[in-house]
Amino acid sequence: MAIAYPYDGVLYLAPTRRCTLACTFCPKQHGRWTVAGNDLRWDLEPSADELFDAAQALEPARFRQVAFVGLGEPTLRLAVVLEVGRRLRAAGHQVRLVTDGLACLREGRDVTGELASAFDEVHVSLNAPDGETYAELCPNQYGAAAHAAACDFIRTAKQHVPVVATVVAAPGLDLPACRQLAESLGVPLRERPWFDPRLGEPHESSA
Ligand code: SF4
């Protein structure tokens, strides 16, 4: 079972398997926990030192970037990912956070100012063009309000660090409306291909 693994020139770190969302397009909602050949279904959550050491063992200098990702929401362990991100950046590595953009909502405070010291860029899951669709695609305890919170996160975070919004091109999703929303938020949109989550393993699931 892996907490750090390479994929396509990027070194990925998985600080938790917990999520705020239960995305219908996510393979783990269908019992599939393998990403790029790595089983991410571990129970214990790594400490900052364990995460850093796991990255070091794979020699991050060999990769173009280190990315905090799932199968889980990295900012559920905000202090850990901030610490490890800062240490990796201090060692000269490019670091990206892949997130649901709900950290401010969960924490009850604006955490976006803390991101710039730990990450070179942040990818935020926009998931949908509106709150209702978001809540359908990504059931969560906040319902449609989570979408507004993710949009607020993007608006605030981009003042501190480069932000990219992402969507999974799920069947029936109004992609032009997603593009329009990203444009109105002032960030680029990265459209990720949809895979049948019952069969496949779309990567970077946390965004
Ligand atoms: S897609 Fe990401 S945020 Fe959604 S359930 Fe899967 S791991 Fe969690």
Reported CATH class of domain 4-192: alpha beta
Per DSSP, what are the bridge partners of residue 163?
A: 122
Atom of ligand 1 nearest to the CA of 25: 1
Q: What are phi and psi of 63, to 5 degrees?
A: -110, 155
Instruction: For the chain, give every domain's residue range.
Output: 4-192
Residues near ligand 1 (Cβ within 6 A): 19, 21-23, 26, 28, 70-73, 100, 205-206
Query: 199, 203, 205, 204: which is closest to 30 by C-alpha?
Result: 199
User: pLDDT at position 41, please?
Assistant: 76
Q: Summarize pLDDT for 71-106 with one digit per residue, the tens.
A: 899 999 999 999 999 999 999 999 999 999 999 999
User: pLDDT at position 1, please?
Assistant: 60
pLDDT at residue 70 above 90? no
The mean pLDDT of the chain is 92
pLDDT at residue 109 above 50? yes
Ligand 1 center to residue 112 CA distance, Å?
21
178 or 199, greater pLDDT: 178
Angle at 20 between CA 13 and CA 69, to 5 degrees: 15
Query: 150, 40, 158, 55: which is closest to 106 by C-alpha?
Result: 150
Ligand 1 center to residue 55 CA distance, Å?
22
CA 105 – CA 97 distance, rounded (Å) = 17
Q: Summarize pLDDT for 121-171 with one digit per residue, the tens.
A: 999 999 999 999 999 999 999 999 999 999 999 999 999 999 999 999 999
User: pLDDT at position 206, please?
Assistant: 40
pLDDT at residue 196 above 70? yes
CA 147 – CA 28 distance, rounded (Å) = 21
